[in-house]
Homo-oligomer: A and B are copies of this chain.
Amino acid sequence: MRVLITGGAGFLGSRLTRALLKRGTLRGADGQEHPIDRITVIDVTASDAIDPRVVPITGDLADPALVAAAVDADTSSIFHLAAIVSGMAEADFDIGMRVNIDASRVLLDICRQRGHCPRLVFTSSVAVYGGDVANGVDDRTALQPQSSYGMQKAVVELLISDYTRRGFIDGRVLRMPTISVRPGRPNAAASSFASGIVREPLNGEDAICPVSPETRLWLLSPDTAVECLLAGHDLASEALGGNRSVNMPGLSVSVAEMVAALERQAGPDVVRRIRWQRDPRIERIVASWPGSWDASRARALGFPGDASFDTIVRRYIDQMEEREPATSPRTPRA
Protein backbone atom coordinates (compact mmCIF):
# COMPACT_ATOMS: atom_id res chain seq x y z
CA MET A 1 0.00 0.00 0.00
CA ARG A 2 1.24 3.46 -0.87
CA VAL A 3 -0.26 6.19 1.24
CA LEU A 4 -0.49 9.96 0.78
CA ILE A 5 -1.18 12.27 3.71
CA THR A 6 -1.91 15.94 2.97
CA GLY A 7 -1.25 18.26 5.86
CA GLY A 8 0.91 15.42 7.06
CA ALA A 9 3.27 17.60 9.09
CA GLY A 10 0.39 18.89 11.18
CA PHE A 11 -0.83 17.72 14.52
CA LEU A 12 -3.21 15.03 13.30
CA GLY A 13 -1.12 14.15 10.22
CA SER A 14 2.05 13.45 12.17
CA ARG A 15 0.14 11.29 14.67
CA LEU A 16 -1.48 9.41 11.80
CA THR A 17 1.91 8.87 10.16
CA ARG A 18 3.28 7.37 13.39
CA ALA A 19 0.19 5.20 13.80
CA LEU A 20 0.50 3.89 10.23
CA LEU A 21 4.21 3.13 10.70
CA LYS A 22 3.46 1.31 13.93
CA ARG A 23 0.60 -0.70 12.45
CA GLY A 24 2.50 -1.39 9.25
CA THR A 25 -0.58 -2.42 7.23
CA LEU A 26 -3.82 -1.05 5.82
CA ARG A 27 -6.85 -2.85 4.54
CA GLY A 28 -7.20 -2.90 0.76
CA ALA A 29 -10.27 -3.00 -1.47
CA ASP A 30 -10.00 -6.82 -1.29
CA GLY A 31 -10.71 -6.67 2.46
CA GLN A 32 -7.22 -8.00 3.29
CA GLU A 33 -4.38 -6.31 5.21
CA HIS A 34 -1.45 -5.23 3.03
CA PRO A 35 1.94 -3.91 4.14
CA ILE A 36 2.50 -0.16 3.83
CA ASP A 37 5.49 0.42 1.51
CA ARG A 38 5.52 4.19 1.40
CA ILE A 39 3.88 7.16 3.12
CA THR A 40 4.15 10.39 1.12
CA VAL A 41 3.62 13.39 3.35
CA ILE A 42 2.72 16.72 1.73
CA ASP A 43 2.73 19.88 3.81
CA VAL A 44 3.69 23.53 3.54
CA THR A 45 6.12 22.95 6.38
CA ALA A 46 8.81 20.29 6.20
CA SER A 47 8.18 17.07 8.08
CA ASP A 48 10.80 14.92 9.73
CA ALA A 49 12.08 11.84 7.90
CA ILE A 50 11.28 9.61 10.84
CA ASP A 51 11.35 6.36 8.88
CA PRO A 52 12.69 5.16 5.51
CA ARG A 53 9.10 4.52 4.39
CA VAL A 54 8.21 8.22 4.78
CA VAL A 55 8.71 10.53 1.77
CA PRO A 56 8.21 14.18 2.70
CA ILE A 57 7.16 16.71 0.02
CA THR A 58 7.15 20.38 0.98
CA GLY A 59 4.99 22.75 -1.03
CA ASP A 60 1.62 24.18 -1.93
CA LEU A 61 -1.15 21.64 -2.29
CA ALA A 62 -2.99 23.98 -4.68
CA ASP A 63 -0.11 23.52 -7.17
CA PRO A 64 -1.21 20.83 -9.65
CA ALA A 65 2.40 19.92 -10.54
CA LEU A 66 3.22 19.21 -6.90
CA VAL A 67 0.13 17.05 -6.42
CA ALA A 68 0.69 15.27 -9.73
CA ALA A 69 4.18 14.33 -8.54
CA ALA A 70 2.75 12.93 -5.29
CA VAL A 71 -0.14 10.87 -6.66
CA ASP A 72 0.40 8.02 -9.07
CA ALA A 73 -1.63 4.99 -10.00
CA ASP A 74 0.06 3.10 -7.12
CA THR A 75 -1.26 5.54 -4.51
CA SER A 76 -3.82 3.30 -2.91
CA SER A 77 -4.85 5.46 0.05
CA ILE A 78 -5.09 9.20 0.59
CA PHE A 79 -5.73 10.93 3.90
CA HIS A 80 -6.65 14.51 2.96
CA LEU A 81 -6.16 16.48 6.17
CA ALA A 82 -4.63 19.74 4.88
CA ALA A 83 -6.79 22.75 5.75
CA ILE A 84 -6.77 26.37 6.74
CA VAL A 85 -8.39 26.43 10.19
CA SER A 86 -11.68 28.16 10.95
CA GLY A 87 -10.41 31.39 12.47
CA MET A 88 -7.94 31.99 9.67
CA ALA A 89 -10.43 31.08 6.92
CA GLU A 90 -12.78 33.67 8.42
CA ALA A 91 -10.05 36.33 8.66
CA ASP A 92 -8.57 35.70 5.18
CA PHE A 93 -11.25 34.58 2.76
CA ASP A 94 -8.90 34.04 -0.20
CA ILE A 95 -6.47 31.72 1.52
CA GLY A 96 -9.34 29.62 2.87
CA MET A 97 -10.87 29.25 -0.60
CA ARG A 98 -7.47 28.45 -2.10
CA VAL A 99 -6.44 25.74 0.34
CA ASN A 100 -9.75 24.36 1.54
CA ILE A 101 -11.52 24.25 -1.84
CA ASP A 102 -9.07 24.77 -4.73
CA ALA A 103 -6.37 22.45 -3.40
CA SER A 104 -8.97 19.77 -2.66
CA ARG A 105 -10.23 20.03 -6.20
CA VAL A 106 -6.68 19.72 -7.59
CA LEU A 107 -6.22 16.56 -5.55
CA LEU A 108 -9.56 15.09 -6.62
CA ASP A 109 -8.95 15.90 -10.28
CA ILE A 110 -5.52 14.29 -10.27
CA CYS A 111 -7.02 11.16 -8.72
CA ARG A 112 -9.62 11.23 -11.47
CA GLN A 113 -6.93 11.57 -14.17
CA ARG A 114 -5.01 8.63 -12.73
CA GLY A 115 -8.14 6.52 -13.11
CA HIS A 116 -7.42 3.98 -10.37
CA CYS A 117 -10.12 5.04 -7.85
CA PRO A 118 -8.00 5.37 -4.66
CA ARG A 119 -9.51 5.37 -1.19
CA LEU A 120 -9.65 8.95 0.04
CA VAL A 121 -10.40 9.84 3.67
CA PHE A 122 -11.31 13.50 4.19
CA THR A 123 -11.69 15.25 7.52
CA SER A 124 -14.77 17.45 7.56
CA SER A 125 -16.02 19.27 10.61
CA VAL A 126 -18.83 20.05 13.02
CA ALA A 127 -18.63 23.52 11.39
CA VAL A 128 -20.63 22.33 8.35
CA TYR A 129 -23.71 22.60 10.57
CA GLY A 130 -25.35 25.81 11.69
CA GLY A 131 -28.66 27.54 12.07
CA ASP A 132 -31.27 25.85 14.21
CA VAL A 133 -29.13 22.98 15.56
CA ALA A 134 -29.46 23.55 19.30
CA ASN A 135 -31.41 20.29 19.61
CA GLY A 136 -28.74 18.28 17.85
CA VAL A 137 -28.34 17.00 14.32
CA ASP A 138 -28.34 13.68 12.51
CA ASP A 139 -27.22 12.41 9.13
CA ARG A 140 -30.33 13.87 7.45
CA THR A 141 -29.86 17.42 8.78
CA ALA A 142 -29.13 20.08 6.16
CA LEU A 143 -25.66 21.63 6.19
CA GLN A 144 -25.99 25.36 6.88
CA PRO A 145 -22.44 26.45 7.70
CA GLN A 146 -22.12 29.82 9.43
CA SER A 147 -18.41 30.26 8.73
CA SER A 148 -16.36 30.25 5.54
CA TYR A 149 -14.41 27.28 6.90
CA GLY A 150 -17.64 25.31 7.35
CA MET A 151 -18.82 26.31 3.86
CA GLN A 152 -15.51 25.16 2.36
CA LYS A 153 -15.68 21.80 4.15
CA ALA A 154 -19.30 21.33 3.00
CA VAL A 155 -18.35 22.08 -0.61
CA VAL A 156 -15.60 19.43 -0.53
CA GLU A 157 -18.05 16.95 1.01
CA LEU A 158 -20.32 17.45 -2.02
CA LEU A 159 -17.40 17.06 -4.43
CA ILE A 160 -16.21 13.86 -2.73
CA SER A 161 -19.69 12.40 -2.78
CA ASP A 162 -20.07 13.01 -6.52
CA TYR A 163 -16.50 11.96 -7.41
CA THR A 164 -17.22 8.74 -5.52
CA ARG A 165 -20.59 8.20 -7.21
CA ARG A 166 -18.87 8.58 -10.58
CA GLY A 167 -16.12 6.10 -9.65
CA PHE A 168 -13.25 8.63 -9.71
CA ILE A 169 -12.36 7.95 -6.06
CA ASP A 170 -13.62 5.83 -3.17
CA GLY A 171 -14.29 8.70 -0.77
CA ARG A 172 -15.05 8.69 2.94
CA VAL A 173 -15.84 11.92 4.76
CA LEU A 174 -15.36 11.90 8.53
CA ARG A 175 -17.12 14.85 10.18
CA MET A 176 -14.82 15.49 13.10
CA PRO A 177 -15.86 16.87 16.45
CA THR A 178 -13.60 19.50 17.99
CA ILE A 179 -10.33 17.74 18.85
CA SER A 180 -9.31 18.14 22.50
CA VAL A 181 -6.76 18.06 24.06
CA ARG A 182 -4.32 19.07 21.29
CA PRO A 183 -0.72 19.38 22.44
CA GLY A 184 1.47 22.27 21.31
CA ARG A 185 0.55 25.92 20.98
CA PRO A 186 -2.77 27.71 20.40
CA ASN A 187 -3.77 28.03 16.72
CA ALA A 188 -6.16 30.23 14.73
CA ALA A 189 -9.08 27.81 15.00
CA ALA A 190 -12.11 29.30 16.71
CA SER A 191 -12.09 26.16 18.85
CA SER A 192 -8.45 26.56 19.91
CA PHE A 193 -9.56 27.35 23.48
CA ALA A 194 -11.11 23.86 23.77
CA SER A 195 -7.58 22.54 24.09
CA GLY A 196 -5.99 25.66 25.57
CA ILE A 197 -8.11 25.72 28.73
CA VAL A 198 -6.72 22.27 29.62
CA ARG A 199 -3.25 22.38 28.09
CA GLU A 200 -2.04 25.82 29.23
CA PRO A 201 -3.03 25.39 32.92
CA LEU A 202 -1.34 21.97 32.93
CA ASN A 203 1.78 23.75 31.61
CA GLY A 204 1.50 26.28 34.41
CA GLU A 205 0.33 29.01 32.06
CA ASP A 206 -2.81 31.12 32.11
CA ALA A 207 -5.48 30.34 29.51
CA ILE A 208 -8.30 32.52 28.29
CA CYS A 209 -11.72 30.94 27.88
CA PRO A 210 -13.60 33.11 25.32
CA VAL A 211 -17.01 31.45 25.76
CA SER A 212 -19.43 30.94 28.65
CA PRO A 213 -19.18 27.87 30.95
CA GLU A 214 -22.57 26.70 29.61
CA THR A 215 -21.23 26.43 26.02
CA ARG A 216 -21.58 22.85 24.90
CA LEU A 217 -18.89 21.31 22.72
CA TRP A 218 -18.72 18.02 20.84
CA LEU A 219 -15.28 16.62 21.54
CA LEU A 220 -12.97 13.83 20.42
CA SER A 221 -9.49 13.05 21.72
CA PRO A 222 -6.48 13.07 19.35
CA ASP A 223 -5.82 9.35 19.81
CA THR A 224 -9.41 8.43 19.06
CA ALA A 225 -9.42 10.79 16.07
CA VAL A 226 -6.49 8.86 14.58
CA GLU A 227 -8.27 5.57 15.27
CA CYS A 228 -11.32 6.99 13.45
CA LEU A 229 -9.17 7.89 10.42
CA LEU A 230 -7.86 4.32 10.24
CA ALA A 231 -11.35 2.86 10.73
CA GLY A 232 -12.72 5.20 8.03
CA HIS A 233 -10.06 4.00 5.62
CA ASP A 234 -10.56 0.32 6.33
CA LEU A 235 -14.36 0.28 5.93
CA ALA A 236 -15.67 -1.59 2.92
CA SER A 237 -17.06 0.89 0.39
CA GLU A 238 -20.45 -0.86 0.34
CA ALA A 239 -20.87 -0.24 4.07
CA LEU A 240 -21.19 3.49 3.36
CA GLY A 241 -23.48 3.20 0.36
CA GLY A 242 -24.50 6.48 -1.27
CA ASN A 243 -23.99 8.67 1.80
CA ARG A 244 -20.23 9.09 2.16
CA SER A 245 -20.28 11.50 5.13
CA VAL A 246 -20.33 10.11 8.67
CA ASN A 247 -20.65 12.12 11.88
CA MET A 248 -17.89 10.77 14.13
CA PRO A 249 -18.78 9.76 17.69
CA GLY A 250 -17.93 12.51 20.16
CA LEU A 251 -18.61 13.52 23.71
CA SER A 252 -21.13 16.30 24.38
CA VAL A 253 -19.45 18.26 27.16
CA SER A 254 -20.06 21.77 28.49
CA VAL A 255 -17.05 24.00 29.15
CA ALA A 256 -17.98 23.87 32.87
CA GLU A 257 -17.85 20.05 32.73
CA MET A 258 -14.47 20.20 30.99
CA VAL A 259 -13.13 22.41 33.77
CA ALA A 260 -14.59 20.10 36.44
CA ALA A 261 -12.86 17.12 34.81
CA LEU A 262 -9.58 19.05 34.72
CA GLU A 263 -9.98 19.88 38.41
CA ARG A 264 -10.66 16.22 39.27
CA GLN A 265 -7.58 15.10 37.35
CA ALA A 266 -5.15 17.92 38.18
CA GLY A 267 -6.45 19.81 41.20
CA PRO A 268 -7.95 23.23 41.99
CA ASP A 269 -4.74 25.24 41.52
CA VAL A 270 -4.60 24.24 37.88
CA VAL A 271 -8.15 25.36 37.04
CA ARG A 272 -7.51 28.75 38.68
CA ARG A 273 -5.24 29.42 35.67
CA ILE A 274 -8.34 29.79 33.46
CA ARG A 275 -9.40 33.39 32.89
CA TRP A 276 -12.97 33.91 31.66
CA GLN A 277 -12.95 36.63 29.02
CA ARG A 278 -15.68 36.35 26.41
CA ASP A 279 -14.88 37.07 22.76
CA PRO A 280 -18.04 37.68 20.67
CA ARG A 281 -16.26 36.76 17.41
CA ILE A 282 -15.39 33.30 18.73
CA GLU A 283 -18.67 32.89 20.61
CA ARG A 284 -20.64 33.54 17.42
CA ILE A 285 -18.76 30.85 15.45
CA VAL A 286 -18.78 28.26 18.25
CA ALA A 287 -22.47 28.86 19.03
CA SER A 288 -23.34 27.99 15.41
CA TRP A 289 -21.97 24.45 15.86
CA PRO A 290 -24.19 21.75 17.30
CA GLY A 291 -23.14 20.72 20.81
CA SER A 292 -23.96 17.12 20.00
CA TRP A 293 -25.14 14.98 17.16
CA ASP A 294 -26.59 11.57 16.54
CA ALA A 295 -23.55 9.34 15.96
CA SER A 296 -25.49 6.07 15.78
CA ARG A 297 -24.47 5.51 12.15
CA ALA A 298 -20.78 5.93 13.05
CA ARG A 299 -21.13 3.50 15.95
CA ALA A 300 -22.93 0.96 13.75
CA LEU A 301 -20.06 1.28 11.25
CA GLY A 302 -17.56 0.54 14.03
CA PHE A 303 -16.00 3.97 14.62
CA PRO A 304 -14.54 4.28 18.15
CA GLY A 305 -15.35 7.01 20.68
CA ASP A 306 -13.97 8.30 24.01
CA ALA A 307 -15.29 7.11 27.37
CA SER A 308 -15.37 10.47 29.19
CA PHE A 309 -13.63 13.83 29.29
CA ASP A 310 -11.91 12.69 32.48
CA THR A 311 -10.35 9.85 30.50
CA ILE A 312 -9.23 12.30 27.81
CA VAL A 313 -7.58 14.63 30.37
CA ARG A 314 -5.98 11.70 32.18
CA ARG A 315 -4.49 10.34 28.97
CA TYR A 316 -3.22 13.81 27.98
CA ILE A 317 -1.45 14.14 31.36
CA ASP A 318 0.10 10.67 30.98
CA GLN A 319 1.35 11.56 27.49
CA MET A 320 2.80 14.86 28.81
CA GLU A 321 4.75 12.86 31.35
CA GLU A 322 5.98 10.48 28.65
CA ARG A 323 7.18 13.44 26.57
CA GLU A 324 8.80 15.30 29.48
CA PRO A 325 9.60 12.67 32.10
CA ALA A 326 12.17 14.87 33.90
CA THR A 327 9.81 17.70 34.76
CA SER A 328 6.58 17.80 36.66
CA PRO A 329 4.23 19.38 34.15
CA ARG A 330 1.54 20.08 36.69
CA THR A 331 3.73 22.32 38.80
CA PRO A 332 2.78 25.90 37.98
CA ARG A 333 5.63 28.05 36.71
CA ALA A 334 6.50 31.14 38.67
Contacts and interface: CB of A to CB of B under 8 A. Distances in A.
B142 A142 contact: yes
B144 A242 contact: yes
A148 B159 CA distance: 9
Interface stretch (A160-168, A208-216, A249-257): A160-168
Given A158-B155, A159-B155, A142 B145 contact: no
A224 interface: no
B161 A151 contact: yes
- Most B CB atoms within 10 A — which of A130, A145, A155, A243? A155
A25 interface: no
Nearest to A148: B162
A151 B143 CA distance: 13
Contact of A141 (B140, B146, B155): B140
Given A242-B131, A243-B131, A151 B144 contact: no
Q: Interface SS of chain A: helix, strand, loop or mixed?
A: loop
Contacts of A142: 139-143
- Most B CB atoms within 10 A — which of A131, A132, A141, A142? A142
Contacts of A93: 166
A197 interface: no
A42 to B, nearest CB: 23
A174 interface: no
Contacts of A158: 143, 145, 151, 154-155, 158
Nearest to A90: B166
Contacts of A141: 140, 142
A140 B137 CA distance: 10
The 6 closest A-B pairs by CB, nearest first: A151-B162, A142-B142, A151-B158, A155-B155, A140-B142, A154-B158
